[in-house]
Amino acid sequence: MTHLPGSQGEYDPRTAVYPGSFDPLTNGHVDIVRRSARLFERTIVAILINEDKRPLFTVAQRVQMAREALRSEPRVQVDTFDGLLVEYVKRVGAGVVVRGLRAISDFEYEYQMALMNRRLSDRVETVFMMPAEQYVYISSRLVKEVCMLGGSVSGLVPAVVEERLKEKRAAVAAKPGE
């Protein structure tokens, strides 16, 4: 499901897709997006539609937060996708998949995905980028856990995400047990 115009099957190495769940977007993700935007003419942040994972935020909320947080990046677009990533990459006419690598622990999963994607389409190249050091320990999972348990996530997520997380926390506190 994409709303972006593509070049119908033309793989363009100047366009990168940065896929993920982004539940929610963290400052580590934003750091990778900015690095990608310096290298590629167009970077598409592609949010996976996967309600099976029981995300904290709906896809629409994740898109809205990402658009707001990345508003000042003219070379960046936010979109959603379902199905195979390589099919989406082809549909929007990209040639590169960008993924962030924080630590060795990320490597095995990322390596498997990159090679599987290459097997599915050898026209799509995966590029790994390391975030700035202050973001290497940040993950969406930890950010959610810390915030929902009352800790501060200031500086770890964009302001709009921090606001939405606090709203979620307040909603949960108002309706315990749901």
Contact between 21 and ligand PNS by CB under 6 A: the answer reads yes
- Nearest Cα to Cα of residue 76 among 125, 48, 40: 40
Surface-to-core class of residue 127, CB atoms within 10 Å of its CB (0-12 exposed, 13-18 middle, 19+ buried): middle
- Integer Cα distance of 50 and 11 in angstroms: 25
Region of 16-24, 64-72, 131-139, 147-155 interacting with ligand PNS (CB under 6 A): 16-24
Contact between 116 and ligand PNS by CB under 6 A: the answer reads yes
Residue with tokens 């994409």: 2
Residue 95 near residue 13 (C-beta atoms within 8 A): yes
Contact between 80 and ligand PNS by CB under 6 A: the answer reads no
- Integer Cα distance of 161 and 141 in angstroms: 13
Q: Which of 1, 84, 132, 159 binds ligand PNS (CB under 6 A)?
A: 84
Position of minimal CB gap to ligand PNS: 20
Q: Is 3 annotated in the active site?
A: no
Look at the alpha carbons of 177, 161, 136, 77 in this order and tell me if their dihedral is positive or negative: positive
Q: Is 72 annotated in the active site?
A: no
Q: Which of 4, 17, 18, 20 binds ligand PNS (CB under 6 A)?
A: 20
CB closer to ligand PNS, 1 vs 152: 1
Region of 1-9, 18-26, 35-43, 68-76 interacting with ligand PNS (CB under 6 A): 18-26
Could you tell me the smallest distance in angstroms from the CB atom of residue 173 to ligand PNS? 27
- Integer Cα distance of 132 and 42 in angstroms: 21
CB closer to ligand PNS, 54 vs 175: 54
Residue with tokens 């501060």: 152
Q: Where on the chain is the footprint of ligand PNS (CB under 6 A)?
A: 19-21, 48, 84-85, 113, 116-117
Catalytic residues: 29, 53, 102, 140
